[in-house]
Structure 1
Amino acid sequence: NLYDGDFQNRLNPHKYLLYKPNFSQIYAFTASAFKELPNNGILFLYISADGYDTYLKSKVEQSYDFGGVKTNNRHDDKIENSNSPPTSATNTLGKNSSPSIVTTTTATSPIGPVKDVHNIFPGDLYPFLRKPLFLIIDSNNSIAFQNMPNLFGQPFISLLSPIKLPIVFHDYQNKGSLFTLFLTSPVFAFCFVCHVNDLTSEQWNLCHEHINKIIFEITKLFLKSKLVDSTIYHFFADEFLRLFLSRFVFCYAVLRLHRAFKGSGFYPSSQPQLSNDLLENVQVHKMILELSAMLSVRQLFLEGPLITADLLASN
């Protein structure tokens, strides 16, 4: 069944949930998950964190120069004091210890710009591209994870959040992410961007049913499209990942039609990029506009489904 949320026959996959992890924790648990994957398994990474920019004047290396995400607020004393004069400390293990077990540590000033060692960069994920990887980055610097090289030829897809948010929603940033809301609860997400705070039980059920129909329509479009990258179909057989892909398209379409979201920075992106017959589908647009009319928020959206001329004008 391709319908939204039908996972009755699905085995629950092994999961690790990390809250504000440092680099060591992320690497240890991701490596453990990587090791546990069966031959036909897929590694799924969902990273939600504030963005981190290196602010380098010259950004060349895609792997580290463009920054990443800040999963932990720890700071390294050596980095914070990198401008201090070099110091030397000697630690002797016992008075009668021989010189062979004397440990000497020397702190020296780093050469060139220093990157925060506790942040996660695209290059940190490269080793895990040895197996199929489904990556979701929810961050205001998700753009740093664009164009990751497929070094080992394994199926790989990344879903990246928008990097901008309309001013009207800025006060809600500390309460959660809009992108994650769309991927986990599209009904709540749609109501949120439409400022709908109070629904009757009947309205809620109608809204939920209509969004399920939209998700189902998007799923069918994936299967019918001849322009979808073949890599995506490797993940589409999995119910969880298929649902994320369909909800991603729903998120893009809603924000694309919403008057408050203007410009590419306000829309999610992916690698490989999804084709326009999915992202800019007229039938999906019509269904979203019908939903907005049901909730009496039609004025928040564009006048009609976007057609080719509209797309060219907006780009």
Structure 2
Amino acid sequence: MAVDDEMGGAVEALGKFHSMVEDADRKFALVRDLPPYARGPLHLLYFRKAFKAYTRLWQFQQRHRRELVAGGLSRWEIGELASRIGQLFYGQYQRTSEVRFLLEAYVFYEAIVRRGYFEAARGSAAPDLKMRYKELRFLVRFLIVALLLNRADEARQLADLFRALVEESKAAFPATNFKEWKHVAQEMARFLKADSSFKIARPLRYNVMFDAHPSSFPCISRFHTCRVLRLQDALLTSYCRNEIKLAELTLDTFRMLQCLELEPSGSFYQIPTKEPCENGSSDDQNGISGLIDINLAADMMDPDLPPNPRKAVIYHPSVSQLIAVTATICEELSSDGILLIYISASGEISAGKTDHTMTFKKDVYGKSLNFSRVHHTPHAYWKRESSLSQSAVGDKRIGTANLGSHLCLGSQGNGGSNNLYPEDLVPFTRKPLFLIIDSDNSQAFKIIHGAERGEASALLLSHEKPLSVSDDNSSSSGSQFTYFLTAPLQAFCQLVGLSSDIEADVYKDAESLLSSALAEWEVALCKSNSLDQVWAQVLTDPFLRRLILRFIFCRAALSLLSSLGDSSTHLPECLPSLPECVLPSSALTQIHILNLAERLGALNHFHFLDSIRGSALSR
């Protein structure tokens, strides 16, 4: 009789568990269907409901684990539950950019692999194809989380596990084509090779210990401007041919994503080491069997650091989607906030084709009064008119190299619907923008400068094509321009043909030299009387300041490269211009490039002013 009662209780517990799973899954679907950049009360409501449902479900399986197992609960069901909770945490990270949520997702994902929750389903006499797909998708998600947390060794182990599982699946399900999963395995290998090319390099996130320069603290703290802006939001997207990617995360957006985050400090960054018992009991409430705090945003912040800027990462968007997301973010910008837009895409120059003529009429203050398209001209050009005299301003027409120029956000066979034109971004210049265009046709976006609708924009524009002293294909490491902005020393080593097995002490010395250069350029910008207000108002923001300094380094390194000669067509550009003291031609800039090149044994790859090179030879 007692056995029957016990069995009846087990069946009842299992039935309630499955009912709670269905309810939680419905709430999970509402959250999953929200775009990653969705914000506002609706997404908060959905998240609260989903987290509350999974909290109850997780606590229920902890309290009734014995009955559930007796009733027939499978280990893979616990694994799937933990996987869903990890997804919720990762989704919260995507929306808030708080690395703590990423760590919580890692805790659940790592426990699933360590305990082999999905392995039992693999060993059954009749393997389930649907369950196999779930496990493969889970491994991809876990690998991305591991990469974002700079756990390269674990990421490689997961890639090996994924590849082995694909091969095993081909044998277990001979009638099923796993070609797409094999392609994902190849993407993993390519991504990991590019991401871990320099094993001794430090993480890309902003680290106060390395990226804040003590020698320039007084200048930054005393730096005053009539307006100060902080990086509030960032929109990151890429659409390049043959780009390195993993699932829907490209290598370039992956790097920029981390570059715009603060490195968590101290013990806050550590993964919990205590492990719960198999029956669900645990002394560690941060562990896999711990409680899930519903009020996540309030209690899971690093108290030593300000919040990260929010980021919307969009994979292969349509032009209309990109414009819609940009408009949504601009509407939410605060009065002291600035939006960073990063676009990495292939460009196209449509010279000689009928296209748009953009006419800007301006008042004496340079404000845009009229914005119109004219379609009757045989060639597209931009023209600015002013109430000032024609002799003072005149018409400004872009040369034939920029006729109809645009970026391609899709296959070129679909016509103009996939083309992003510079004028598409002009309406958003009513708010402060920091634009980074990484493309072989980035120069087309120079026409935004001076055509803004209300706020002058800051523009960083890439060079036309990657450069290197060797014949190696630099595209195997992603975009060279983005590489310089996110990992400048690694990009410099690649530029001069140094391999990833560089000696650790040499690399450390090079890091110190680069840090000194960035600090001195930082001081020079703060003290300059010719620093444009566009740059001055963002100089106190640590993320944007670091990007500006790295741009100075990138432009100088490429400009002084001997193989480039006197050509300036390949160089990155910034608008408005930065002060002359940080130009590649200045002694302040050249001496630092010389010191770095000399330490890396690459001095012969660069040309310097005779006075600068002479000082090096006399040492």
Aligned in 2, Cα 1:305/1:186: closer, same or farther, shift over 3 Å? farther
Any idea what the Cα deviations from partners look like across 1:224-259, whole Å, max 9, x if unmatched? 111221221112121111111111111111111111
Number of aligned residue pairs: give it.
269
Q: Which amino acid aligns with 2:432?
A: P
User: In structure 2, what is the Cα distance between the partners aligned to 1:221 and 1:299?
Assistant: 28
User: In structure 2, what is the Cα distance between the partners aligned to 1:261 and 1:165?
Assistant: 11
1:128 counterpart = 2:466: no
Q: Which amino acid aligns with 1:69?
A: L
Q: Which amino acid aligns with 2:599?
A: M
Q: CA deviation at 1:65?
A: 4.4
Note if contact 2:426-2:453 (Cα within 8 Å) is conserved in structure 1: no
Number of the residue aligned with 1:237: 540
Identity value in percent: 32
Structure 1 residue runs of 4 or more that deviate by more than 6 Å after TM superposition: none
Number of the residue aligned with 1:154: 455
Note if contact 2:480-2:491 (Cα within 8 Å) is conserved in structure 1: yes
Number of the residue aligned with 1:54: 350
Number of the residue aligned with 1:278: 582
- Choose 298-307 or 123-132, whichever is displaced more: 298-307
Q: Which amino acid aligns with 2:580?
A: N
Greater fraction of residues in helix: 2
Number of the residue aligned with 1:87: none
Note if contact 2:561-2:607 (Cα within 8 Å) is conserved in structure 1: yes
- After superposition, the CA RMSD in angstroms is 2.5
Q: Which amino acid aligns with 2:211?
A: G
- Choose 3-12 or 223-232, whichever is displaced more: 3-12
Aligned in 2, Cα 1:239/1:151: closer, same or farther, shift over 3 Å? same
1:287 counterpart = 2:601: no
Q: Secondary structure at the match of 1:16?
A: strand
Q: Secondary structure at the match of 2:454?
A: coil
Number of the residue aligned with 2:321: 25
1:224 counterpart = 2:224: no
TM-score of the two chains, using structure 1 as the length reference: 0.78
Any idea what the Cα deviations from partners look like across 1:21-48, whole Å, max 9, x if unmatched? 1112211221222122112110110111
- Choose 241-250 or 28-37, whichever is displaced more: 28-37
User: In structure 2, what is the Cα distance between the partners aligned to 1:140 and 1:306?
Assistant: 34
Number of the residue aligned with 1:37: 333
* Higher CA-based Rg: 2
User: In structure 2, what is the Cα distance between the partners aligned to 1:169 and 1:147?
Assistant: 34
Number of the residue aligned with 1:172: 474
What does 1:189-208 align with in structure 2 at a 5 Å threshold?
A: 189-197=491-499, 198-208=501-511
**Residue segments in structure 2 that go unaligned for 5+ positions in a row:** 1-206, 213-261, 264-304, 354-378, 384-397, 613-619
User: In structure 2, what is the Cα distance between the partners aligned to 1:21 and 1:225?
Assistant: 40
Any idea what the Cα deviations from partners look like across 1:181-207, whole Å, max 9, x if unmatched? 110000101101110112122112111
**Residue segments in structure 1 that go unaligned for 5+ positions in a row:** 80-115, 308-315
Aligned in 2, Cα 1:226/1:137: closer, same or farther, shift over 3 Å? same
Q: CA deviation at 1:165?
A: 4.0
Note if contact 1:155-1:234 (Cα within 8 Å) is conserved in structure 2: no
Aligned in 2, Cα 1:169/1:12: closer, same or farther, shift over 3 Å? farther
Any idea what the Cα deviations from partners look like across 1:153-185, whole Å, max 9, x if unmatched? 313110100114448557333541111111000
What does 1:69-108 align with in structure 2 at a 5 Å threshold?
A: 69-73=407-411, 75-76=413-414, 79=415
Q: Which amino acid aligns with 1:255?
A: L
User: In structure 2, what is the Cα distance between the partners aligned to 1:35 and 1:306?
Assistant: 52
User: In structure 2, what is the Cα distance between the partners aligned to 1:173 and 1:306?
Assistant: 35
What does 1:131-142 align with in structure 2 at a 5 Å threshold?
A: 131-142=431-442
Q: Secondary structure at the match of 1:45?
A: strand
Aligned in 2, Cα 1:196/1:237: closer, same or farther, shift over 3 Å? same
TM-score of the two chains, using structure 2 as the length reference: 0.41
User: In structure 2, what is the Cα distance between the partners aligned to 1:177 and 1:44?
Assistant: 18
Aligned in 2, Cα 1:306/1:266: closer, same or farther, shift over 3 Å? farther
Number of the residue aligned with 1:186: 488
Note if contact 1:161-1:269 (Cα within 8 Å) is conserved in structure 2: yes
Any idea what the Cα deviations from partners look like across 1:43-80, whole Å, max 9, x if unmatched? 1101111112122352313799431111222643xx5x
User: In structure 1, what is the Cα distance between the partners aligned to 2:604 and 2:432?
Assistant: 43
Aligned in 2, Cα 1:173/1:22: closer, same or farther, shift over 3 Å? same
Q: Secondary structure at the match of 2:596?
A: helix
- Choose 144-153 or 176-185, whichever is displaced more: 144-153
Number of the residue aligned with 1:257: 560
